[in-house]
Amino acid sequence: MIIEGAHVVTVTGEEYPDGHVVVDGNRITAVGPGRPERGDHTVVDGRGCLLTPGFVNTHNHLFQWVTRGLAADNTLFEWLTALYPVWAGIDEHAVHTSASGALSQLALTGCTTASDHHYLFPRDGGDVLGAGIRAAQDVGLRFHATRGSMNLGQRDGGLPPDHVTEDLDAIMAASEAAIDRWHDPSPDAMLRVALAPCSPFSVTGDLMRVSAELARARGVLLHTHLAETIDEEDFCRERFGCSPLDYVEGLGWTGDDVWFAHGIHFDDDGVKKVGATRTGVAHCPSSNARLGAGIARTRDLRDAGARVGLGVDGAASNEAGSLLEEVRHAVLFARAVGGPTALSVRDGLELATMGGAAVLGRAGEIGSIEPGKLADLALWRIDGLGHADVHDPVAALVLGAPPPLDLLLVDGKPVVEQGRVVTVDTEAIARECTAVHRTLLEKAS
Ligand code: ZN
């Protein structure tokens, strides 16, 4: 396939206002200005469009899509306490339906690689991790499933009710089984697995420590929520006598194989530590603002050397579930707190692409438009009313209204065409999401 005539943003510094990209199989084989030799390639007319790398979502909870709009005006701890009983009702069907909705919305907003943090495993829920993976395969996105966990219930001073927690041995057996069954370390993998104990207030230190040991023995990444709210900071100071970052550092949880969701409340030393250890941060501006949690120090973290990507977070705290909106919010919120030069529109695009690829350990495979990289691409139409006269096409995408997505390629295959997901029936999914939402509320009442 050749896409030609588009404004091509490679994200490696080069831009081609009338450029082309050649895709052979699942890889990009050429990029440059003007029109290439056509040979027997299919040609996509990209005139009036902006071509970017596909976006990488570094933090999400797909099962939350069907629990949107609850506790809409509450803090994180209040919101979690309201939602745990609803989430306790999930099963394979609920998760497959919910994930299909969330992943379709991600595809429509430019996402080609999605990660999922699944931490809730009801005893009679069936294979809920596998259900999310099946949904990713149905929609056609590159997928990083994380086997999450909670083992610190209210009985032991944690936040979640005891019946939604598991015991440590069961978690470790399931984690190992998930790696055996699904993790694909190959360079063009469509599916990888990471381990993800949920947060300092819902898991024990022992679970964090043994999860890190297993992940390192098996060569998979580590993910958790960290430094999201002041309530979490207070919990850690009271229980462990230190900050959340110092606590998890002592458990082996910093390094280039670790990424934290949120990372808002780091002090200057914390920012330095995260940067010096090349730890990753999934910045989730919409969710953080929705829960009034604060805003991560994106610019400082990047300057310190941290790997920073973007995440929509679970849709229960970000009803839009739009990865493009995260780019816009990352830029706007960074400037709202850090001034006009805190983050450029191209920095925002870089966070969503190369930044996310680096967070998921895939900077060599995805995240930019370069020969040899996987063909994960987004072609945005910017010649309509909303964008045609915006001087800078990248500003049109990042600061303007969400433009129509003409084409989304994942691994060289179309997932979105002319603003519609072509792999699954999104209208049927929406109907089923409504039914599952009702069922979960009834179960919880
Ligand atoms: Zn989260």
Residue 406 pLDDT level (bands cut at 50, 70, 90): very high
Greatest pairwise CA separation for the chain in angstroms: 68
Burial 351-367 (b: 16+ CB within 10 A, else e): bbbbbbbbbbbbbebbb
CA of 51 to the centre of ligand 1 (A): 29
Cα(370) to centroid(ligand 1), Å: 31
Residue type, 183: H
Instruction: Tell me if 368 sits within 8 A of 12, measured CB to CB.
Output: yes
Residue 362 tokens, joined: 């895939």
Q: Ligand 1 being an ion, which residues bring their Cβ within 5 A of it? A: 261, 313
- 189 Cα to the center of ligand 1, angstroms: 24
CA of 324 to the centre of ligand 1 (A): 18
How many Cβ atoms from other residues are within 10 Å of residue 38's Cβ?
Answer: 11
Distance (angstroms) between ligand 1 centre and the Cα of 148 equals 11
Pick the CATH number of 2-53+367-421 from 3.40.50.300, 3.40.50.20, 3.50.40.10, 2.30.40.10: 2.30.40.10
Taking the centre of ligand 1 as the mean of its atom positions, its distance from the CA of residue 135, in whole angstroms, is 19
Q: Which long-range contacts (CB under 8 A, 24 or more apart) does 128-134 make?
A: 128/63, 128/90, 128/91, 128/92, 128/95, 129/174, 129/178, 130/92, 131/92, 131/93, 131/95, 131/96, 131/99, 132/62, 132/63, 132/95, 132/96, 132/99, 133/182, 133/191, 134/96
pLDDT at 137: 98
Expressed in angstroms and rounded, the spacing between residue 402 Cα and the centre of ligand 1 is 24
Residue (of 107, 101, 103, 206) closest to 145 by Cα position: 103
pLDDT tens digits, one per residue of 30-82 = 999 999 988 889 999 999 999 999 999 999 999 999 999 999 999 999 999 99
How many CB atoms neighbour CB 83 within 10 A? Answer: 20
Instruction: Please give the distance, rounded to the nearest whole angstrom, from the Cα atom of residue 191 to the centre of ligand 1.
Output: 20
Task: Place 28 in a pLDDT band, splitting at 50, 70 and 90.
Answer: very high
pLDDT at position 21 is 98
Separation of 232 CA from ligand 1 center, angstroms? 13
DSSP letter (8 states) at residue 391: S
What pLDDT is attached to residue 38?
87
φ, ψ of residue 266 in degrees (nearest 5): -90, 135
pLDDT of residue 52: 98
Interval 147-164 mean pLDDT: 95
Distance 234 CA to ligand 1 centre (A): 19
- Looking from the CA of 32 toward its CB, the CA atoms found within 13 Å total 7
Ligand 1 centroid–CA 345 distance in Å is 25
Q: What is the pLDDT of residues 196-253, one digit of tens each?
A: 999 999 999 999 999 999 999 999 999 999 999 999 999 999 999 999 999 999 999 9
Q: pLDDT, tens digit, for every residue of 282-331? A: 999 999 999 999 999 999 999 999 999 999 999 999 999 999 999 999 99
For residue 263, the CA-to-ligand 1 centroid distance in Å is: 11
In which residue are the tokens 């509320």 written?
A: 441
Q: Give me the pLDDT at residue 340, please.
A: 94
pLDDT computed for residue 309 by the predictor = 98
Residue 34, classified by CB atoms within 10 Å of its CB into exposed (0-12), middle (13-18) or buried (19+), is: exposed
Residue 281 CA to ligand 1 center (angstroms) comes to 12
Q: Rounded to whole angstroms, what are the CA distances from 175 to 157, 206, 278?
A: 24, 15, 25
CA–centroid distance, residue 360 to ligand 1 (Å): 16
State in Å: Cα 314 to ligand 1 middle. Answer: 6
Sequence-separated (6 or more) residues with CB below 8 Å from residue 71: 78, 79, 82, 83
Q: How far is the CA of 302 from the centre of ligand 1 (A)?
A: 21
Please answer whether residues 359 and 307 qualify as being in contact, where contact means their C-beta atoms are separated by less than 8 angstroms.
yes
Residue 17 CA to ligand 1 centre (angstroms): 37
Averaged over 99-118, what is the pLDDT?
98
pLDDT at 354: 98
Residue type at 353? T
Ligand 1 centroid vs 406 CA: distance in angstroms? 30
Sequence ranges of the domains in the chain: 2-53+367-421
Mean pLDDT of 117-139: 97
- CA 286 / ligand 1 centre spacing (Å): 12
CA of 8 from ligand 1 middle (Å) equals 32
For 338-397, write each residue's pLDDT tens digit. Answer: 999 999 999 999 999 999 999 999 999 999 999 999 999 999 999 999 999 999 999 999
Tell me whether strands 280-283 and 377-381 are parallel, antiparallel or unpaired.
unpaired
- Taking the centre of ligand 1 as the mean of its atom positions, its distance from the CA of residue 287, in whole angstroms, is 8
Give the per-residue pLDDT at 107.
Answer: 98
